[in-house]
Amino acid sequence: MPIPKPEGRETEDKYISRCISDIANEYDVEGQAYAVCKSTYDKDKMSKITDTMSKVMSRVAYDTKFRGINLLAKGKDDPCWDGYEMIGMKDDGTPNCVPVKLAEVGPKGGIKESDKAPKSGTPNKDPKGEGSAKGDASSTRGAKVTAEQEKTLEGKVKDFNEKDSNTKNGNATLGALKSVFQRGLGAFNTSHSPLVKSASQWAFARVNAFLYLLKNGRPENPKYDTDYDLLPKGHPKSK
């Protein structure tokens, strides 16, 4: 699906929300659809600048903001250019691409060992979480889905169901995706990958995992078995 263009005096927030809804299903890395839409909006805005100095400064600001992010890396696990690696997400939802840190040589000439990253099940030091639910991953009470998040989920449902190859095990429904999303918010409250900075990022990642399960009849990660009760009847993993 082509990337939509900003229309008239459409605000940045409205355009990005509309754009993400249109292309979210084409990007596997959470936050990359946002990066593409934000880049498109910024480029459109820069194209309308006539003052030379302002245009130069806008170009510098753009290059700095998206440094390291490969906006063309559709469907890839790594959204960063060669020489960069993704370390979590930025506050604005875009991938945090940083220069690859080469191995350090120790005092005796050997490779200096690096600290191991905590596992994805590392207990959350801040049990309140960002907009997360109380209780375990099955709880949805208190986990609110914003209007913008629901619109994104609606886009995922629409895009998923439009392809016959996706629906051989059943159609996606907004109700199921909202439940998965809310459970993701609750799970973030208990434990999550240290690379994930917000409950919503964790929840959208869980929605993507559910859609993979729905389409393929099996989870991408064998340990993911907590949302089988939300699968349609007839699905190989339906409970």
60-107 pLDDT, tens digit each: 777 767 777 777 665 566 677 767 777 777 766 677 777 766 555 566
153-169: average pLDDT = 92
Strand, helix or coil for residue 14: helix
The pTM of the full predicted model, rounded to 2 decimals, is 0.45
**Residues 141 and 91 placed together within one structural domain of the fold:** no
- In a domain, residue 182? The reply is yes
- In a domain, residue 122? The reply is yes
- Checking if the pLDDT of 131 tops 60, the result is no
- In a domain, residue 130? The reply is yes
Is the distance from CB of 173 to CB of 39 less than 8 angstroms? no
- In a domain, residue 105? The reply is no
Number of domains in the chain: 2
Count of CB atoms within 10 A of residue 1's CB? Answer: 9
Place 139 in a pLDDT band, splitting at 50, 70 and 90.
Answer: very low
Among the residue ranges 13-17, 38-42, 80-84, 132-136, the one predicted with the least confidence is 132-136
* Cα–chain center distance at 80: 14
- In a domain, residue 1? The reply is no
- In a domain, residue 238? The reply is yes
d(CA 210, CA 21): 18
What range does the domain containing 196 cover?
118-239
The domain boundary residue, chosen from 53, 72, 99: 99
- In a domain, residue 80? The reply is yes
**Residues 136 and 219 placed together within one structural domain of the fold:** yes
